[in-house]
Amino acid sequence: MKILFTAVLSMLFVCISVYSQDLQNADFEEWDDVNGLYEEPSGYWSTNNLLLDIFTASTPSAFVFKEESDVVNGTFAARIVSGVSSGLPIGAYIGVGNFAININDPIKSYQTGTPYTGKPSKLVGYYKYFPVNNDICDIYTYLTKFNPVTGQRDSIAYAGYNTAETVTDYTLLELDFEYYQDVTPDSMFTVFTSSKNAAPPFYVAGNGSTLFVDNFMFDFGTGIYAPIASAYDVNVFPNPSTELLNFEKQDSKQVELIIYSVDGKKIHTETFSNQKLTIDVINFPSGLYHYQIIENKRVLNGGSFEIAH
């Protein structure tokens, strides 16, 4: 049983899952209370705080906390703390997805990938890190695409960073995406962990290693940003488009749609009040475009689409 739990704990931040149009809440301003035991970032972020429900005899010293006093801006950040429970190292993490322990088959505890078709140029945000015993934090995003021939997901792009250095002040990260293929992805996932090597085969996590993260976004170039994770879902279809492009949301709140060319020029702005908005793009030159959905100067959602005449 101890070996089984070690495998479960170690894999918590290796196989992260999601099902949404984008990711969400990467400024970590919104949190949910879970059974009065702990809080988690709202939306589709997942953590291994669920293990607090399991280890009742030995409360873990690890996991993810809502940070209220030490933030970049806004009200909250995320504090990710590794630890030990019942003698097992636990590398705390935040990742996009759902986690439910499957004791009989731990691999099935995770489902990977959230639908996503954007092609960002950078992953940007703020972090600081206090490692214990030469621990290493890890921050990364993968963009992937399902390959029907192999039945597997191909890696389309990656942006990542890890360090064992102590970083005492919030520091801006600007991580370039390396694209392996010139195709549009269909999914992506993002992970923040305070102990990179808690995963197999190392099973190492410094008891008390602490990673702070705040205000992470995708940069689409020339200053165009979009949330990594957005609880405000917007579907864009068809993508690629030739004549008409649809934007569909779940409510009728009034937001602003802004479309940018690939070089960052604002080419279209429109108020978006109904659940569906259709734009004639027949006069848009073929190529890649970026969009933002904005309410009261806050970016709720963003991404990319292609025009192919």
Write the DSSP string, 172-202: EEEEEPEESSSS--SEEEEEEES-GGGSTTT
With cut-offs at 50, 70 and 90, classify the pLDDT of residue 105.
Answer: low
How does the average pLDDT of the chain come out, rounded? 81
May I ask the CATH class of domain 232-307?
mainly beta
Could you give the percent of the chain with pLDDT greater than 90?
42
Domain boundaries, the chain: 2-219, 232-307
From 248, 16, 246, select the one nearest 144 (Cα to Cα). 16
Return the number of other C-beta atoms located less than 10 Å from residue 295's C-beta.
Answer: 14
Q: Which of 20, 192, 197 is nearest to 97 (CA)?
A: 20
Average of pLDDT values for 68-81? Answer: 91
How confident is the model over 36-58, as a mean pLDDT? 72
Is the pLDDT higher at 110 or at 152?
152
Residue type, 170: Y
Q: Is the peptide bond before 120 cis (omega within 30 degrees of 0)?
A: no
Q: What is the pLDDT of residues 243-287, one digit of tens each?
A: 999 999 989 999 999 998 877 788 999 999 999 999 999 999 999
Supply the pLDDT for residue 158.
Answer: 97
| Residue 12 pLDDT exceeds 50 | no
Domains 2-219 and 232-307 share a fold: no
Q: Which CATH number fits domain 2-219: 2.60.120.890, 1.10.1040.10, 3.40.50.300, 1.20.1260.10?
A: 2.60.120.890
pLDDT of residue 164: 96
Mean pLDDT for the stretch of residues 70-83: 90
